[in-house]
């Protein structure tokens, strides 16, 4: 089994000219940079269009792509936008920050101009794309067009006839919003054309894409609106229970995610058809699929709808290995990563073992003074070959921020573990990265912020907070040749080079 390494960097966090990372030349340059750094994997976050809070884990669609990622430069080259129009748009003046409000206000009008100048209905490739993806695109495009008509309000607040998808209302809005619907389809066509080209380029360079599939869909999504039978909703399509996680040492009230829960018995009776379609779709988009919140397939936390906190929730049984046996029968073997973090029980561990998928090991979880025994799953000496090792994930502090914020006795634990009491703290992140890279784990993936030695001001996400997340971007100058050589050296040193 080949040892390998990769870097975690969301598409939105790429350097770019117009306010947010996208499928522009900067993405291709990053692929080249990864190749020269000896990397095999580029791990990203979900690519869907984001809703309130800007989280890629709360999307308007399971299948659609985020229009923000469409390269405006490519549209300029195509002749449907001008460079002056793009330069005049206000996307904010911070090169390392995403201003989502300005993005929403200014990017969509540019995309609308491009659509109106495109004569897209005469494009044979576009027509083929619409026909081949009609099974999800029709509902999504209508959903987004109607949402715009209702001032962006959630579908649960729309007029009853369209909220409940009465036939006459569906026909009316498809006629009334014809061009708005076509605009949504145009953006999806452009997104997927550009993504396919970028992924093919990466693969030719020997870089494999690790995608991410959230276990839940957002309540305010085309999926919940178009297929309420899949979820725990009542006859008026109001949730009876929602997703979250229980109180723990980090949150006395637990976490209220608010996603609708699945009717697992219904899914089982259909042979998990919706899930099989969802997984098949991800296998077309990515080389490796990371399944978020894997423990939810063993047991999921159910919170009665209307509760203000997660305190009164309870655990329910999920589909277990049955769903993944079905996947194996339908598609054969595919590379999947099980995100088995959080509160892990013996039954979750068994589900991961039964699936055969590699789980995740996060170094930051190892040095916990409340559980310092050698049985800790996250100590590198306890890793197995069939796992993916990280310093931290998009939800964690950077490794520099983490080391600064843990208790003194935990810092001492970490230094004792590494037999390193001499490295200055400002350089210790390099030792911590090396600790993960030299482990037996078949693959190590390091967030780019950790390679840069950045503190929590560059953190991607802090769970249970709003307004400060998903905003950080790396600058082009930070992806330097010196950093590339440093990453190449540590990758080569621990036998993780991509020799392709």
Q: Which residues are catalytic?
A: 292, 339, 395
- Class of residue 283 by CB neighbours under 10 A (exposed 0-12, middle 13-18, buried 19+): middle
CB contact at 8 A, 358 and 6: no
The span from the first CA to the last CA of the chain, in angstroms, equals 15
Which of these, 475, 389, 411, lies nearest to 97 by C-alpha position? 475
How far, CA to CA in Å, does 179 sit from each of 95, 184, 364, 444, 447? 34, 9, 50, 46, 41
- Residue holding tokens 């840069």? 452
Neighbouring residues of 418: CB distance < 8 A, sequence distance ≥ 6: 431, 432, 435
CA 452 – CA 145 distance, rounded (Å)? 42
CA 255 – CA 463 distance, rounded (Å)? 9
β partners of residue 43? 8, 210
CA 103 – CA 461 distance, rounded (Å)? 19
CA 472 – CA 95 distance, rounded (Å)? 9
Q: In what order do the strands lie in the sheet with 288-291?
A: 336-338, 288-291, 208-213, 41-43, 4-8, 443-447, 387-390, 359-362
What phi and psi values does residue 270 have, to the nearest 5 degrees? -95, 10
CB contact at 8 A, 417 and 379: yes
- Which token pair is 396? 């964690």
CA 59 – CA 214 distance, rounded (Å)? 9
CB contact at 8 A, 276 and 199: no
CA 93 – CA 298 distance, rounded (Å)? 46
How far, CA to CA in Å, does 410 sit from each of 152, 396, 414? 47, 17, 6
């Amino acid at each position: 089994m080949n040892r390998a390494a990769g870097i975690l960097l969301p598409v939105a966090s790429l350097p770019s000219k117009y306010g947010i990372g996208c499928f522009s030349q900067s993405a291709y340059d990053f692929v080249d940079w990864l190749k020269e750094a000896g990397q095999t994997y580029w791990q990203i976050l979900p690519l869907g269009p984001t809703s309130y809070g800007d989280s890629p884990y709360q999307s308007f669609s399971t299948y659609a792509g985020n229009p923000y990622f469409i390269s405006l430069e490519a549209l300029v080259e195509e002749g449907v936008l001008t460079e002056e129009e793009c330069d005049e748009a206000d996307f904010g003046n911070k090169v390392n920050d995403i201003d989502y409000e300005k993005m929403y206000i200014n990017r969509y009008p540019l995309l609308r101009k491009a659509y109106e100048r495109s004569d897209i209905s005469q494009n044979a490739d576009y027509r083929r794309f619409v026909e081949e993806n009609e099974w999800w695109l029709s509902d999504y495009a209508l959903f987004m067009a109607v949402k715009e008509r209702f001032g962006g309000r959630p579908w649960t607040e729309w007029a009853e006839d369209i909220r409940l998808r009465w036939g006459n209302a569906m026909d009316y809005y498809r006629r009334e919003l014809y061009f708005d619907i076509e605009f949504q389809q145009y953006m999806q066509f452009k997104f997927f054309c550009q993504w396919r080209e970028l992924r093919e380029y990466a693969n030719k360079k020997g870089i494999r894409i690790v995608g991410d599939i959230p276990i839940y869909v957002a309540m305010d999504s085309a999926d919940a609106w178009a297929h309420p039978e899949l979820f725990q909703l009542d006859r008026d399509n109001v949730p009876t229970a929602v997703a979250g996680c229980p109180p723990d040492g980090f949150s006395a009230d637990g976490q209220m995610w608010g996603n609708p829960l699945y009717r697992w018995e219904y899914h089982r009776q259909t042979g998990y058809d919706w899930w099989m379609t969802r997984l098949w779709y991800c296998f077309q988009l990515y080389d490796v699929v990371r399944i978020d919140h894997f423990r939810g397939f063993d047991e999921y936390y159910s919170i009665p709808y209307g509760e203000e906190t997660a305190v009164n929730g309870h655990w329910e049984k999920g589909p277990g290995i049955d769903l993944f046996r079905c996947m194996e029968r339908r598609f054969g073997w595919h590379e999947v990563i099980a995100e088995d973090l959080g509160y892990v029980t013996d039954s979750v561990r068994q589900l991961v073992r039964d699936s055969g998928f590699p789980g995740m090991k996060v170094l930051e979880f190892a040095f916990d003074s409340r559980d310092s025994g050698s049985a800790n799953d996250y100590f590198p000496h306890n890793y197995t070959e069939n796992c993916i090792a990280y310093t931290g994930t998009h939800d964690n502090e950077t490794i520099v921020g983490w080391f600064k914020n843990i208790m003194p006795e935990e810092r001492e634990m970490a230094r004792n573990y590494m037999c390193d009491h001499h490295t200055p703290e400002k350089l210790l992140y390099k030792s911590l990265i090396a600790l993960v890279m030299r482990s037996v784990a078949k693959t190590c993936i390091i967030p780019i912020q950790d390679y840069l030695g950045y503190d929590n001001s560059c953190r991607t996400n802090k769970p249970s907070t709003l307004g400060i997340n998903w905003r950080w971007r790396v600058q082009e100058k930070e992806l330097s040749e010196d950093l590339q050589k440093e990453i190449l050296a540590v990758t080569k040193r621990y036998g993780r080079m991509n020799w392709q």
